[in-house]
A and B are shown apart, each in its own frame.
Chain A
Amino acid sequence: MKTIIYTIFFSLMLGMAISPAPLYAWGGGQPPWEAPVMPGGKIVKTEDISVYYEYDQPYEKVLAFYKEALKNYRDPQYQHVDWAKFRDWDDQMYIEDQGGAKWHSIGISKGGGNKTTVKITRDNMMWVFSTLLIRFAGVFFVLCTLWLLLNINSALMKKYFPEGGKKAKAS
């Protein structure tokens, strides 16, 4: 009886996870994937996951447009949480979507004088896989560092305080 109940419970849970009704066609859709686009630009390049717009406008003006366009892009439940994360990099202002939009990032190039390129990238599994791989490797790195330091610590203890490091018998 117990087995039947557990089987039903787990099948239900797994079923719910595997076949969710709102399973999104993640990373699909057409450019610009619902991202705001500043008027007056022309598409100069299109890739599978990105589209490039060029503007005869200085960087500051394009940035001002995006800041305005995304100022209300917030978590509806927690109004203080911005879903658009602005990262000021050397070569571009990188705007990352942390909400549920179909676009993943908007990159506004810097240093082009009166020419500014905006690269809009859609959600893509490559980004998800790479970020997760790096972070999983990061966990290993942290614990491996701890492992290394514990080994050094243990070696030092054995050398300078030998009475503490007695070997126990094998089972």
Chain B
Amino acid sequence: MSWNEIWDLLVGTLKTTGFPMLFAAGGWKYVVMWAFGCFFLYMAIAKDFEPILLLPIGFGIFLVNFPNTPLFGFTEGHPQLLQFFYKYGIIWEVIPCLIFLGLGAMTDFEPMISNPKMLLIGAGAQLGVFVTFTGTILAGFTIKEAASVGIIGGADGPTTIYLTAKLAPHLLAANTLAAYSYMSLVPIIQAPIMRLMTSDKERLIRMKIGRRCSRTELVLFPLICGAIIALMVPAVMPLMGMLMFGNLMRVSGAVKRLTNTASTALMDIVTIFLGLSVGASMQAHVFLTYKPIMVFGLGLIDFIVCTAGGIITVKIINLIAKEKINPLIGNSGVSALPMSPRLSQMMGQQYDKKNYLLMHAMAACLAGSIGSPAAAGMLLSMFE
């Protein structure tokens, strides 16, 4: 073998590695993304901060941000591994719907069914979705991007993913991360707003414990809710249909094995693919632009306005209703389960140790989990 051949072989081998691109112009972006990935891994592993989601997301970011790795592209027209999960799981909207199936199987809607007035709080808490839409357009986003950023305030991860995948897939990673991050920051973001917007007298309002619902009533709920959503906002029926199906399995009691699988094993499997796919979509050239970075700021405003919207709705209801509602449960109108209801309960007990707001806040939160897809449906109908 001649020296020329050896040299050619070495250069050829070097070209297949990631080094040439890493040291080429723009190579620094990969390093920034490794830092991002490692930051998420640190938060998940060392700080126990939403580990179920942040660990796969962090590792997904880390994996795809090496040059020449055959993970998120196409080989001879066929999707590579993570691209395969992303394409069929997220872009085809399978994963968010399966998550809703699992959530339905895990969720007890009884607090809301016994006190359907709470549905109004779930609707009022969507205020931020629409307010932020305006702000996002002003910031130079397109209408579709604005709609996908707006939904972050609903604090509903699967709905955010569903809407963003449909309208602005390039913002998927930023929107998903913003939605889940603000959900886990509920005590920090919502508590000051709740204090600011409520008086001492209002915080002391006690609420009656709701009645127990019959099994028939619980079984009828997914059918009624499913039918209404199918007729009024059919665009989100893939999500809501799965949520209601999961819930029907649960309340019917007839398919315990299926309910158990949907709420445990299936949820875990889907979460792994969701996290990896979302993380993988955060490639340097897509993520390190001004729009994804601005999403975090806009999402924060969104979340704040949604929280305020829920509290304002309670105050408006209190002007009319005979039985007053404690406005401390207004924050739970965003569907950040279980953090928001837990915060309502904790803050309520700070002012009155015998005030139990948890189930009422749960009802508002469940209403939010229906309100948020309804808002997404309204936004989607803009583009039909």
Contact = CB atoms under 8 A, between A and B. Distances in A.
Given A128-B137, A140-B120, A142-B229, A150 B221 contact: yes
A12 B296 CA distance: 10
A142 B296 contact: no
Contact of A17 (B209, B294, B355): B294
B321 interface: no
A141 B221 CA distance: 18
Given A14-B301, A26-B137, A170-B208, A20 B383 contact: no
A10 B375 CA distance: 26
Given A23-B139, A132-B134, A151-B116, A142 B228 contact: yes
A132 B129 CA distance: 9
B232 A145 contact: yes
A160 B220 CA distance: 14
A31 B254 CA distance: 65
Contacts of B195: none
A4 interface: no
Contacts of A85: 383
Interface stretch (B37-45, B210-218, B262-270): B210-218
Contact of A98 (B144, B169, B221, B224): B144
Interface residues of A, number: 56
Interface string A134-171: 01101111111111011101100100010111111111
Contacts of B144: 98
Contacts of B370: 143, 146
B140 A20 contact: yes
B95 interface: no
Residue of A129, A139, A144, A166 most packed against chain B (CB within 10 A):
A139
A163 B214 contact: yes
Nearest to A150: B116
Given A23-B138, A139-B375, A143-B123, A154 B113 contact: yes
Contacts of B46: none
A16 B296 contact: yes
Majority SS of interface residues in chain A? Answer: helix
Majority SS of interface residues in chain B? Answer: helix
Contacts of A150: 113, 116, 119, 221, 224
A161 B214 contact: yes
B119 A143 contact: yes
A53 B3 CA distance: 74
B143 A13 contact: no
Contacts of B139: 17, 20, 22-24
A27 to B, nearest CB: 9
Contacts of A151: 116
Contacts of B114: 154
Contact of B297 (A14, A100, A131): A14
A161 to B, nearest CB: 5
A98 B143 contact: yes
A24 B139 CA distance: 6
B217 A164 contact: yes
B374 A143 contact: yes
Contact of B214 (A125, A139, A157): A157
Nearest to A104: B143
Contacts of B138: 23-24, 26
Given A142-B229, A153-B217, A16 B207 contact: no
A157 B382 contact: no
A139 B378 contact: yes
B374 A164 contact: no
B109 to A, nearest CB: 10
Contact of B140 (A22, A132, A171): A22
A135 B127 CA distance: 10
Given A129-B134, A146-B228, 4 more contacts: A26-B137, A100-B140, A133-B130, A164-B214
13 contacts: A23-B138, A24-B140, A139-B123, A146-B119, A146-B224, A147-B117, A157-B216, A157-B217, A168-B210, A171-B206, A171-B209, A171-B355, A171-B356
Interface of A: 6, 10, 12-18, 20-24, 26, 77-78, 83, 85, 98-100, 125, 128-129, 131-133, 135-136, 138-147, 149-151, 153-154, 157, 161, 163-171
Return the 8 tightest CB-CB contacts between A and B, nearest first: A164-B214, A17-B297, A16-B297, A135-B378, A150-B116, A132-B130, A143-B123, A143-B119
